[in-house]
Amino acid sequence: METITHSPVPWWVPPVAIVPIALPLLLSIVVLLTPLYKNRIKRVKPSWAGEREDWWEWSLGVLGAGITLLAAIALAAVGIGNELEVKYYPWYPVGHHENYFSLLIDTISSIMALVVAIITFLDLVYSWEYMEGARGPHRYYSEMLLFLASMEGIVLSSNLILILLFWELVGAASFLLISYYWYHPKVGPNAVRAGRKAILVTRTADVFFLAGVGALIALAGTGNVLQISHSIELTHQKLFGAVALTAILVGVSIGALGKSAQMPFHPWLSDAMEGPTTVSAVLHSATMVAAGAYLIARLFPLYESYVIYNLSLMDAIALIGAITAFVAGLFGSAARDIKKVIAFSTMSQLGYMFAALGLGSLLAGAAHLYIHAFFKALLFLGAGAVIHALEHVLHDPYESRDMFNMGGLWKYMKVTFFTTLIALLSLVGIPPFAGWWSKELIIESSLHSPVPHSTIVGILLTVAAGLTGFYSGRLLYLTFFGNERWKEGHPEASVHDAGPAMRFALVSLAAIVLVSGPIIVYTLEEALHYHAHAHGEKVELPLGNVALTLAILGFLTPIAYYSLYGIVKNKLIYYIWYPLYKELWFHELYHGVANFWIRVVAKITDLVERAYTNFLVNTAFVIGRFYAWSWAVSVRLADEDLWDEKVIDGLARAAVRIGRALWRLQSGDINLYLVLSVAGLALVIVITLILTIGVGW
């Protein structure tokens, strides 16, 4: 790779590189255990904490994220334009290769690590005011630190097994945070269901991811990402056969699509809004949903090698991304919940990233991954400030999220309004805001991509740009302009702008959004020069006139409509709006499919149980009757000599005991079944390990 230098690792890099993973992980445990020593730290409570009891948890959270941010800055300084691998100790062998616990510091990983650290730090600062009064602050800050450590682990790890480990930790942390309000009388049941849906849907995709990673390690003889990439890039040879490579990449791609909520794995994403808005800000920008797109970018050399055989997989990824971007744009245009509108925008923008990577443009895909993280975090935190203000007026967690209950807020929340406006203009892709620098590059790449359906992808993304403008303009007007609908029934009510900590996070992210676009694009253009030219991609910024025009028209249309007519009921609009509001009944469809298969599995399990029961009972009965008969025959035919008494009678009594023992196995005792199952599983694992070690795998 032309712009990559393989420099010796500076002496300070190994201890600094482990900080973004180890420190948040350690502090997560310390914070989680806070209730055990809470009374001891009350005596050292600082004056600035006032009456707050969660100052300790917040301080450790901000401290961990702050030090992680400093470490990420240092790693970015040496990682951009370089390729440094830090090996700590041998971990596990694969064949004749020794795999290390190692980290990779290069352009892709160092920029992403910095993005994750910046957003998490500002999010935790913001949490001081937003999470005031929340129950169980030790859980919240502990889980946020676990979230940070897990995502940094995915980003910095150079070993696929380590990536897989942190991949699962990210999923576990997201489940805990989405379900954070489990105790709330109104939100609680929905939060628990949302967390369960998120982990079940993503775990379904993770099964394929695990299979793909396992096959890749087995065939490559190593789990080291750098070694796999170099074996492709430097030798320019086919690493695996077509069938093996197809199976590997299909598994990895399904795992990535599931984690990033791309169709058909998308239904969990909108439900994930049941968690705190601060959780949504991190989850949708820099952690869980970004992990899938990051994984494709990380393994991009492997996808490039697949082009040697055919373009079908890349074409499929691009089409799935484009369709997801389009469909999510439709859903976002109909949603009333402000958080769900932003959630659908995340799903749509991730579709742009997958489309770019499928089209073969690592430059465009990676740039949008980083830039999107900043304006999406800003958008969620702006929405959080609005929700936080309205909760004191409407006193309902769902009513305060309904945009039809907002309006006219710009006069009361000017900082929130202007920072949200910056985020929305970046989301729409209006120049010179950050989103324009990457989004139009993605659309333009469809004109130069060799994949078969690149034209269709380009058309879908262009239409999605118009939809993005539409739901962004709709969100802006319904939230900040028009009648003050939140005063209906509360004429004396008033709201105020965000507090100092929340304003600091909003203004800081807004400043980053304003300047990050050209910095990220030009940095990546220089560092990924090889990949840009490998596909004949233009590295000059395209104009994208059609998409930009549609985006501007889409942005202005709802503003003009609501300004002229307000929120009015119209049958024609209702018939168009309602199916989109219901997300085309995807949730009902998935629930129906899930329930069907649950019934099928339950029926099969019942049949197996009945067959197993009948076999045991009948076998025990036959054996018992046979030996009872033999005992009776022996009594009749034999005298009372020693041989008959000890041998024949002994065999008969033993047979009876065996029959009774077998009979007791089918006792209906669940604990006994569990013990036997665990014992059998342990035996299988031990035998497998012995065989595995024996063949030297």
Q: Is 45 exposed, middle or buried (0-12, 13-18, 19+ CB in 10 A)?
A: middle
Can you give the pLDDT at residue 113?
Answer: 96
What letter does residue 542 receive in the DSSP assignment?
A: P
What letter does residue 10 receive in the DSSP assignment?
A: P
Can you give the pLDDT at residue 342?
Answer: 94
Can you give the pLDDT at residue 542?
Answer: 47
Residue 535 token pair: 């596909």
Burial 183-192, CB ≥16 within 10 A → b, else e: eeeebeebbb
Query: How many CB atoms are closer than 10 A to CB 401?
Result: 23
Q: Reduced to 3 DSSP states, what percent helix, strand and coil does the chain have, rounded to the nearest 5?
A: 75, 5, 20
Amino acid at 496: H
Can you give the pLDDT at residue 188?
Answer: 83
Using an 8 Å Cβ cutoff, are 350 and 362 in contact? no
Using an 8 Å Cβ cutoff, are 138 and 201 in contact? no
Kindly give the parts of the chain with pLDDT less than 70.
1-7, 92-98, 230-241, 307-310, 529-544, 568-578, 580-598, 601-602, 606, 609, 612-614, 616-618, 620-621, 627-628, 630-652, 655-656, 658-697
Phi and psi at residue 218, in whole multiples of 5°? Answer: -65, -40
Residue 70 token pair: 């400093």
Residue 298 token pair: 């990380």
What letter does residue 483 receive in the DSSP assignment?
A: -
- Report the C-alpha gap between 150 and 129 in whole angstroms: 25
Using an 8 Å Cβ cutoff, are 212 and 249 in contact? yes
Give the chain's radius of gyration (CA, Å): 30
- Report the C-alpha gap between 280 and 262 in whole angstroms: 17
Residue 615 token pair: 């076999």
Between the CA of residue 432 and those of 82, 328, 422, 440, 511, what are the distances in Å? 29, 25, 11, 12, 13
Using an 8 Å Cβ cutoff, are 471 and 332 in contact? yes
Residue 92 token pair: 């596990």
**611-620 contacts at long range (C-beta below 8 A, 24 or more positions apart):** 613/666, 616/662, 616/663, 616/665, 616/666, 617/663, 617/666, 619/662, 620/659, 620/660, 620/662, 620/663
Residue 410 token pair: 């710009």
pTM across the whole model: 0.82
Using an 8 Å Cβ cutoff, are 356 and 445 in contact? yes
Domain ranges of the chain: 13-42+52-587, 590-695
**537-541 contacts at long range (C-beta below 8 A, 24 or more positions apart):** 537/360, 537/361, 537/363, 537/364, 537/445, 537/448, 538/444, 538/448, 539/363, 541/437, 541/440, 541/441
Using an 8 Å Cβ cutoff, are 151 and 171 in contact? no
Using an 8 Å Cβ cutoff, are 314 and 305 in contact? no
Between the CA of residue 437 and those of 13, 412, 516, what are the distances in Å? 32, 32, 9
